[in-house]
Amino acid sequence: LCRLQTHCYYHGSVRGFPHSRVALSTCSGLRGVIALNSTLSFELQPQEDHHHEEDGESGGSGEGDEGVHLLFSTSSLEGDGTGGCGVSHTAIPPIHSPTHTHRTKRDILSETKYIELVLVADHQEFLNYQKNNKTIIYRMLDVANQVDWFYRPLNVRVALTGLEIWSDRDKIRVEKSPIDTLNNFLQWRSRDLLPRLRHDNAQLVMGGSFDGTTVGMASQSSMCSRDRSGGVNVDHLVSVLGVASTVAHELGHNLGMSHDTAERRCACQNEPRLGGCIMEPSTGFMPGQQFSSCSASDLSISLLHGGGMCLFNVPQPERLLGGPRCGNLYVEKGEECDCGLLEECEDPCCNASTCQLVPGAQCSSDGICCQDCKLRAAGSVCRDPLGECDLPEFCTGSSPYCPPNVFLQNGEPCEDGASYCYGGVCASMNTQCQMLWGPNATSAPAVCFSSVNKKGNKYGNCGQLSNGSYIPCANADVLCGRIQCQGGRDRPLLGTNAEILTTTVRLNLVCRGTFFHLGDDVSDPAIVAQGTACSPGKACLNQKCQDVSVFGVDECRRKCNGHGVCNSNKNCHCDVGWAPPDCRYSGHGGSVDSGPARAARDPVRVALLVIFLFILPVVLLFLALRFPRFRRSLFCLGPNSPFHKARQHSRTPVMERADGRNGEQVRPNFTTLTTPLKETPVTPDRNNYLTFFLVRFVCCFLIFEGAPHHIRSRNNIQTKYSVTVSLFTPVSSWKTTT
């Protein structure tokens, strides 16, 4: 891996052109793109680069040449012809989740996402540039700079954290088939690259070409996946803009974006003759330079559905290639903040010239946990959960940034035990049927799955072999094959090229399945989703019905001592009232990954509690002892109090003599006098008054500052409220029967 220490990459705009955008490099001469508006853009590069491509000469020494530069319209770019993407044109929207709140949507979409990207140049690319490592390094850095430029309007930053050049030989078999090359590259990434370099996505840049017109291929909706987050791209144009647009396109597929086809009616500011938008299914010499409305919508839906769970952590500055520089929007060593260049900075808390906080500011407003230049209190929610398989994150009180996103460990039960979490999403057959056939669709009975998936054809199977043949499902795996549904619309919601299979089984039971022509590397939405329950204690995994013990949930839960759940990092997320890492002792809840679930005590709150629990009782007690009238009022001892009336009722009755003489007490005639039983207030011993008084204050302390765990537990909220009501019921209302 090559790591450069000189930062020479810039984003900006052209004065006098409000909507212009510029992405330039000064590493070895000037290179980049200047887009004045949606119809006019130029590319700038040193003349030697142009000669290198045309005549096969060396690209120069890379020592900051000050020679002639070429400025030309991007509409005049040269290349080998039109290029296309290997992913099918059918739109593949993610499953919609109906439970998202407006606050969640606003937070997820407004928060900046970061893709930690690794670029890999194959051996043919190394040969194409005369085995000049430095030339290739600068070209790859230019590509990353352009891709970052493309994604910034979507509030997504692309951070290059690794660059590898296969200068000796290819580390995989680079085939003429794009799907074979992609599979080989993704296997190498999972097996070799990911263990030694943490990243979110990897893209292979090739010096050769594929059969046909395909210039790139990627897995759909696979961002953050260990096995499928990546793509392959052909360096097919002289211009850096060409390969950068291709990488951005394939990266878009990883993020869940589909092609901008005619039936989708996408809004694109660029005219088709000028390249259209980045997610066009094919492009000519003029590559797309921006994303359409459809791409923005696809990304939003994917994020709200739980896609891109790994994109919410800010990359560590030391892992960024290119070295530190004030104005690149990354807070690096020696900086307190970084709001970009002086012209683009809109942060009132940050000095763009020095990348230091303004006087009096605690933090930069680009972080969710910073408000009005002050850090939000620890325990403030900064990222709400996206459904029951996600977990909230909380401000730490020491950083303006929300902690990295985590979710429930794979295999945790969801939907009241009807299914299991996988990748932060609770997948169920009903939800999947509704995604395919509309909101009124439901999953078909098991007999439909058995009848269809045992056949081993394209309509019903449990996988496909490398030779193209389908695998019949075993009896135990029929619920993990292709989804079978009932009800809903007449045709699937996805695209227009789906085949429908209607099956009638015994008792005239009708169920429907579908087959999509989506291409070899697009995740099939008609296969039962990972994590779906297939029998008690079992879930679908790789089209096999496997015991959920393979996820290790029970083993992880045991270390949480019954007071928490495990997150995606296999750390305990503790209930409120218990402290991480193992939920054994009292604490604020949350996890070592998410931050504290409850705010720490602030000085104002502590002062109020001291007054309420200590000073106020002492004052009241002093007044009660010093002033009898206050004591009678405080302890309900006045003549109109229930206690006083209780004493009157408890005295021996005075009876009037039959002869008219009064004042002499006589024994009642119980044969004629009856005193009905009635409820009267208990008259506590006067020594207990102080006890009652103090008990109330102690109970207040337990309620507001952390009562015993059975009161604080999130599963016993009702207990807490019932205790509160009983504690504040006046003493005078306590009844008994006399």
Give the tens place of pLDDT for each residue, 506-546.
Answer: 777 889 999 887 655 556 788 998 889 999 999 999 899 99
Helix (H, G, I), strand (E, B) or coil at 590: strand
CB 286 within 8 A of CB 75: yes
Closest CA to 477 of 411, 549, 543, 532: 543
**Per-residue pLDDT, 491:** 87
Q: Say which DSSP state 222 is in.
A: -
C-beta neighbour count of 20 within 10 angstroms: 16
Q: For 444-536, where are the alpha helices, taking DSSP H only? A: 446-453
Q: Tell me, what amino acid is at 460?
A: G
CB 270 within 8 A of CB 82: no
At 184, which helix (H) or strand (E)?
A: helix 178-188
Between CA 680 and CA 12 the distance in angstroms is 82
Between CA 183 and CA 530 the distance in angstroms is 20
Between CA 227 and CA 233 the distance in angstroms is 18
**Per-residue pLDDT, 485:** 95
- CA dihedral angle for residue 697, residue 698, residue 699, residue 704, rounded to 10 degrees: 90
Identify the burial level of 519 via C-beta atoms within 10 angstroms of its C-beta, where 0-12 means exposed, 13-18 middle and 19 or more buried. middle
Q: Say which DSSP state 419 is in.
A: E
Q: Tell me, what amino acid is at 628?
A: P
User: Which tokens hold the place of 153?
Assistant: 């309007």
Radius of gyration of the chain, Cα coordinates, nearest whole angstrom? 35
Q: Say which DSSP state 529 is in.
A: P
Return the half-sphere exposure (C-beta side, CA atoms, 13 A cut-off) of residue 216. 34
**Per-residue pLDDT, 691:** 52
Between CA 118 and CA 161 the distance in angstroms is 6
Between CA 370 and CA 123 the distance in angstroms is 46
User: Which tokens hold the place of 351?
Assistant: 């000095």
Closest CA to 527 of 543, 539, 512: 543
How many residues does the structure list for the chain? 738
Between CA 335 and CA 399 the distance in angstroms is 14
Between CA 394 and CA 642 the distance in angstroms is 50
User: Which tokens hold the place of 634?
Assistant: 């405080």
**Per-residue pLDDT, 237:** 82
In whole angstroms, how far apart are CA 379 and each of 399, 575, 606, 707? 12, 13, 16, 19
Between CA 303 and CA 502 the distance in angstroms is 33
Angle between helices 689-705 and 717-727 (to 10 degrees): 150
Establish whether 250 is a catalytic residue: yes
CB 246 within 8 A of CB 147: no
CA 445 to chain centre: 33
Between CA 331 and CA 349 the distance in angstroms is 14
Q: For 189-338, where are the alpha helices, taking DSSP H only? A: 194-196, 240-254, 293-304
The structure tokens 């931050």 sit at 595
**Per-residue pLDDT, 495:** 61
Between CA 231 and CA 144 the distance in angstroms is 14
**Per-residue pLDDT, 220:** 86
- Catalytic residue selected from 43, 111, 164, 250: 250
- Phi/psi at 573 (nearest 5 deg)? -105, 105
User: Which tokens hold the place of 279?
Assistant: 């997610």
Q: What is the pLDDT of residues 253-277, one digit of tens each?
A: 999 998 888 878 889 887 666 667 9
Q: Say which DSSP state 75 is in.
A: G
- Residue ranges, the chain, pLDDT below 70: 1-7, 9, 18-19, 28, 37-39, 47-67, 72-84, 86-107, 271-275, 283-286, 322-323, 466, 495-497, 518-523, 598-609, 612, 629-738
In whole angstroms, how far apart are CA 197 and each of 192, 200, 201? 9, 10, 11
Contacts of 498 (CB under 8 A, 6+ apart): 491, 492, 514, 515, 516, 517
In whole angstroms, how far apart are CA 723 and each of 702, 710, 714, 728? 10, 11, 15, 9
Q: What does the domain layout of the chain look like in residue ranges?
A: 9-318, 418-551, 603-647+678-737
Between CA 19 and CA 290 the distance in angstroms is 13
User: Which tokens hold the place of 177?
Assistant: 């088939």
pTM recorded for the entire structure: 0.70
In whole angstroms, how far apart are CA 56 and each of 50, 127, 320, 337? 10, 11, 32, 44
Closest CA to 365 of 339, 342, 384, 340: 339
Which segments of 8-59 are extended strands (E)? 9-12, 21-25, 31-35, 41-46
Question: Span 9-318: which CATH code?
Answer: 3.40.390.10
Contacts of 622 (CB under 8 A, 6+ apart): none
C-beta neighbour count of 26 within 10 angstroms: 14
Q: Tell me, what amino acid is at 581?
A: P
Which segments of 520-569 are extended strands (E)? 533-535, 538-541, 544-547, 564-566
CB 449 within 8 A of CB 479: yes
User: Which tokens hold the place of 119?
Assistant: 């670029």
Between CA 210 and CA 201 the distance in angstroms is 22
- Asked whether the bond before 581 is cis by omega within 30 degrees of 0, the reply is yes
**Per-residue pLDDT, 523:** 64
**Per-residue pLDDT, 710:** 36
CB 25 within 8 A of CB 31: yes
